[in-house]
Chain A
């Protein structure tokens, strides 16, 4: 299977701890996106990379959040000093950079803050 892979699938942590999620996109895709999804809502855009460059960040991405894509391949999303409101599904997607191509999503990392 060469789809988008996310790790871990589930993360439970105590409030105040730091967490890091990993996303491996489809190998030939230049674009990589992070979204957050809370229960009963559609995904909300967080940030976007073209290769290793982070080109867009939503205002939802507070200064406790940081995302990287150091070699233009996999990406990490770190949340520092987690809060109850950070509990959500974090989704990663990737797409080619040519034309209006669909985004391919992973199955997400579900974060629960105790």
Chain B
């Protein structure tokens, strides 16, 4: 299974940008990069995904390195509601469930 490496925890101040890194040095050419987040007592929530180009949506931006061996999830203005565990996952094109290998993720704390 393709693996990702993320810091265990990060802190941010409210209303400041947050850059959450993810290393995936063994990524294959066809793997998609997905980001999910999980709030306490809830299931994971989809944030964003991409293949090669940077992606933006209403929640966040995804910056993918040129060699695709790392990526960064960018929250432009952190709010207290963004405090969660963030997971970076690689997914093969067929998107079967066995390709979603969740690591322990990064626990983001947002300070008021």
Interface residues, chain A, with chain B CB atoms under 8 Å away: 4, 31, 33, 35, 40-45, 47-48, 55-56, 58, 91, 93, 95, 99-108
Contacts and interface: CB of A to CB of B under 8 A. Distances in A.
User: Main secondary structure on chain B at its contact with chain A?
Assistant: loop
Nearest to B100: A45
Given A42-B102, A45-B100, A91 B43 contact: yes
Contact of A55 (B32, B51, B85, B96): B96
Interface in B27-76: 32, 34, 36, 41-46, 49, 51
A45 B98 contact: yes
Interface string B72-112: 00000000000001010001010111101111110000000
B96 A91 contact: no
A105 B47 CA distance: 12
- Contact residues on B (Cβ < 8 Å of other chain), bracket: 20 to 34
13 contacts: A31-B95, A31-B97, A35-B102, A41-B104, A42-B102, A42-B103, A55-B96, A91-B43, A95-B95, A99-B95, A104-B46, A106-B43, A107-B41
Nearest to A34: B97
B43 A42 contact: no
A4 B43 contact: yes
Nearest to B41: A107
Max chain A C-beta neighbours (<10 A), residue from B51, B87, B95, B103: B95
Contact of A58 (B34, B46, B93, B98): B98
Contact of B102 (A44, A48, A108): A44
A47 B97 contact: yes
Nearest to A106: B43
A103 B46 contact: yes
B47 to A, nearest CB: 9
Contacts of A108: 42-43
